[in-house]
Structures are given as structure tokens and as C-alpha cells.
Amino acid sequence: MTVDYPREFQGFAINDPKDWDHPKLTKFEPKKFDAHDVDIEVECCGICASELFSLKNEWSAEPMACLSSSYGPKSQVVGHEVVGKVVAVGDKVSLCKVGDRIGLGAQASS
């Protein structure tokens, strides 16, 4: 599979729950694109109260889970309920194709 996949992503991230209201533009390396992945050029993305609870670490007594992530940013980039255009699909993807405009809900470990 050959996919022109970005070597770097960026998003507004929170590095510490105390700074939940001061996100900073952060660059990070994406996971390797595989046969089940869909790359979406995001047009718009929602942020809701559940993400504010996550950013403030109010749902867990544990430190922010992303700080122990094996890949990706060592901070939280939130947002879900995405609308965008499919720009690449893995070989095993059958529900959408390049050029489709799609929407998706909340995702975990994506």
C-alpha cells in the first residue's frame, strides 16, 4: 500500500490539567497508516463538556492517560464529532472511498 500520509500532525493540546484553558499548538508524529485506516482532512470538529472534564482530569484520580501513551503526543488533543473529506484509505477499507465527505462520532484510541 502506498499512501501519501503526513509525517507530522498538529493540534491544540493541553500538557497539564491545570492549564486546561490555555491550549498550545503542538506537533506530533502520527501512528503508522495501516490497511484499516482512513485519513480524513478535517473541515470542522466539535469540543464538548466531556472533553473539558478529560482535560481537567476530573473523571479519574490517575494522571492524564496520554502522558503514558506509547506513541503520539504526550499531551491531550481533544475534539470529536468530525466532518471532513476522505483523502486516503487503507487496502481493507470498504465503507468509504477517497473524495467522500463523511462525519464520525466520538472515537477511542484513534
Average pLDDT for 48-66: 73
Average pLDDT, the chain: 80
With a cut of 80, say whether residue 38 has pLDDT above it: yes
> CA 77 to CA 17: how far, in whole Å?
12
CATH of domain 9-104: 3.90.180.10
Largest CA distance in the chain: 42
> DSSP string covering 20-82, please?
TT--EEEEEPPPPP-TT-EEEEEEEEE--HHHHHHHTT-S-SSPPGGGG-SSS-SSEE--EEE
Give the other-Cβ count within 10 Å of 46's Cβ.
13
Average pLDDT for 38-42: 90
With a cut of 90, say whether residue 36 has pLDDT above it: yes
Cell numbers standing for residue 80: 470529536
User: pLDDT band for position 97 (50/70/90)?
Assistant: very high
